[in-house]
Amino acid sequence: MQNIQKNAGRLSCSFHKIIKMKKKYTDSCRLFVLKSNRKENQKKMFEVGEYIVYGCKGVCLIEEITHIDIPGSNKDRLYYVLAPYGDGKGKIYAPTDNEKVTMRKVITKSEAEQLIKEMPSIEELWVTDEKKRELKYKEALKTCDYRAWISIIKTLYCRKQQRIAQGKKITSLDERYLKATENELYSELSLTLGIPKNEMERYINERLEVV
């Protein structure tokens, strides 16, 4: 079991140093802090031309800030016109004062490099109640906090390795959230660092090798 836990932090068998400094936090203790930080982030007005992370839609470019003429809507309300990163046709109209969906600026290059260095010490998200597992994954994803994403990934890889050792496959729930979380993390890091998304695992692995 000890060997399984040591190797559990590998992200697609690449992040082999991530669990070197192994810590855990349970259920909602850290999510409370993340939600508090989210409220502070929501107070800031973004600008046209900025990339932001918009809820579960991921990275988006703010193309315009405007009013929209929809019957029954408040015509004085301002909206961000968002173009999802990597989607040439999609458009999202998001109220600038929306407090239900998390919006934040994308990570900077220096922050991204520092985040990679800190990956080994980021805690895993252990859920003690199996019935609440999916709820906790959803809550962590909705925070749009990249450290929470890493916590989910580390936890799911640990669970995956444990199941493999037992001769079992990863559950469909875990696989779905693993893919979704990796997509969020790699997409944002790819944009900021200027590295193709499909090369992010290799890049992170190389950076961890020299830490």
Tens digit of pLDDT for each residue in 81-113? 999 998 777 899 999 998 889 999 999 999 999
- The sign of the torsion formed by the CA atoms of 183, 187, 193, 197 equals positive
Residue from 200, 33, 15, 28 nearest 118 by CA: 15
Band of pLDDT at residue 210, cut at 50, 70 and 90: low
Whether 61 contacts 82, CB under 8 Å: yes
Band of pLDDT at residue 10, cut at 50, 70 and 90: very low
Residue 114 has pLDDT above 90, yes or no: yes
d(CA 47, CA 36): 23
pLDDT at 211: 54
pLDDT at 64: 96
Band of pLDDT at residue 144, cut at 50, 70 and 90: very high
Task: Give the whole-number percent of the chain exceeding pLDDT 90.
Answer: 56
d(CA 184, CA 157): 16
Which is it for strands 124-126 and 24-26: parallel, antiparallel or unpaired? parallel
Residue from 95, 87, 103 nearest 39 by CA: 103
